[in-house]
């Protein structure tokens, strides 16, 4: 507790608050995360698979190392954060 909070709160309230462990944000943010696989492809850092390049795909997602070996364009797909 900061000195300001002691000035504005009743000592009994401070004693009770001091024993609380606030977990709401952790529970809300992590409730669904990782419980299921998303049906969408996203921008996560978790690589999911390659698929053949289609016109209109973002060239930043082309795996140029695979292209050098296969002589075909493949796009990296990443798992969507849930």
pLDDT per position as a tens digit, 40-64: 455 567 888 899 999 999 898 899 9
By residue range, what is the domain housing residue 66?
Answer: 3-79
Q: How many Cβ atoms sit within 10 Å of the Cβ of residue 75?
A: 19
Question: Can you name the residues that pair with 50 across neighbouring β-strands?
Answer: 76
Question: What number is the average pLDDT over the span 2-15?
Answer: 70
**pLDDT of 10 higher than 70:** yes
The rounded distance, in Å, linking the Cα atoms of 52 and 61 is 11
Total count of domains within the chain:
1
3-class secondary structure, 53: coil
């Amino acid at each position: 507790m900061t000195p300001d909070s002691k000035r504005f709160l009743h000592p009994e309230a401070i004693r009770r608050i001091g024993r609380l462990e606030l977990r709401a944000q952790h529970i809300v943010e992590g409730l669904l995360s990782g419980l299921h696989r998303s049906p969408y492809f996203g921008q996560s850092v978790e690589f999911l698979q390659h698929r053949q390049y289609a016109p209109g795909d973002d060239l930043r997602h082309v795996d140029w190392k695979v292209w050098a070996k296969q002589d075909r364009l493949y796009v990296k797909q990443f798992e969507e954060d849930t």
